[in-house]
Homo-oligomer: A and B are copies of this chain.
Amino acid sequence: MSDEISSQRVAVDWPLDSVVTGLRQARHDWRERQGRELELGSRELPAHHAIHAIVDTLCGILFPMRLGPSELNKESENYYVGYQLGQALTHLHEQVRLELLYRGTLASPAEVDARAKVLVSQFASSLPELRRRLDRDVLAAYRGDPAATCVDEVLICYPGVLAMIHHRIAHEFYRAGLFLIARIVAEKAHSVTGIDIHPGASIGNEFFIDHGTGVVIGETAVIGDRVRLYQAVTLGAVRFNEDESGSLKKGEPRHPIVEDDVVIYAGATVLGRITIGSGSTIGGNVWLTRSVPADSQITQASAHQSTGDCA
């Protein structure tokens, strides 16, 4: 094989055989070990590219005149939405089938197909309400940023809005137990926006993240209505301890509860299963690991307000 390939460009004989053999052995060793330790199901997985394409199509379905194709006009909107929706659901059904097969909890292919159909239909039915919730997020962003010149600027330009479109979709998949698909959707948004929202996070209405790069919101976070976050805010877990086997425990509530009407400024770090009472303001760069009551105004301790002086 090496001769045939190399003759296409330059006459180089690469050491293909030994590398291919070495890689095969490495895969074999991994699978042997993985099979023993980790109890995998099927080896087929939902595919990145397929899910990315489905999500891009869903954006156009939800906001056809803004995130759909530029040649679309109002008269053809419904035809576009209906056609694309049918396509997207069919492609999604295939990916859901792959995730269910991978999880290996259903007995027969027929069961998998039937369950996938139910999950995809439920997802489709959630779309109109999802659009209404996103509209409220868009308005919250427009009202929350003095630099926004119009709602359309917010919808087509703001990374925080793009992250929320992805999160509200990912969260539906997460609730359906489709954790891999949900995570792929979330990481697509993370890569494009720098905003890392675990699909498990529960987020209320009129939510706005400004700038957004470096925001991390953990799996079990619960966020109320009309909450506003700025860049590099972490709603994370405190985990210095491991269990007796040396592993970290999985799945427990470990991220903050943020009640209604809270604002958290840039770089604040809020950790653990604590509660930020409604109406509170958390200042920039604050480090917070205990609950605070409603209407708290938390700022940096004064020692941190830099007072170094002139040379």
Contact = CB atoms under 8 A, between A and B. Distances in A.
Interface of A: 1-2, 5-6, 8-10, 12, 14-16, 18-20, 22-27, 29-30, 34, 38, 40, 43, 45, 47-50, 61-62, 64-66, 70, 74, 77-78, 81-83, 85-87, 89-91, 93-94, 102, 113, 117, 120-121, 124-125, 127-129, 131-132, 135, 142-153, 156-159, 179-180, 183-184, 186-187, 190-194, 196, 198, 200, 211, 213-214, 216, 218-219, 231-232, 234, 236-237, 239-240, 247-252, 254, 266-267, 269, 271, 281, 283-289, 292-293, 295-301, 303-311
A266 B216 contact: yes
Nearest to A295: B311
A25 to B, nearest CB: 7
Nearest to A269: B284
A14 B308 contact: no
Given A45-B156, A194-B213, 19 more contacts: A2-B82, A5-B83, A10-B90, A12-B89, A12-B93, A16-B124, A27-B77, A45-B152, A47-B70, A145-B248, A147-B250, A149-B180, A157-B186, A159-B190, A191-B192, A269-B285, A288-B306, A297-B310, A300-B308
A19 B128 contact: yes
Nearest to A135: B30
Count of this chain's copies in the oligomeric assembly: 3
A70 to B, nearest CB: 4
A311 B292 CA distance: 11
Contact of A183 (B86, B144, B153, B219): B153
Contacts of A150: 38, 40, 180
B78 A250 contact: no
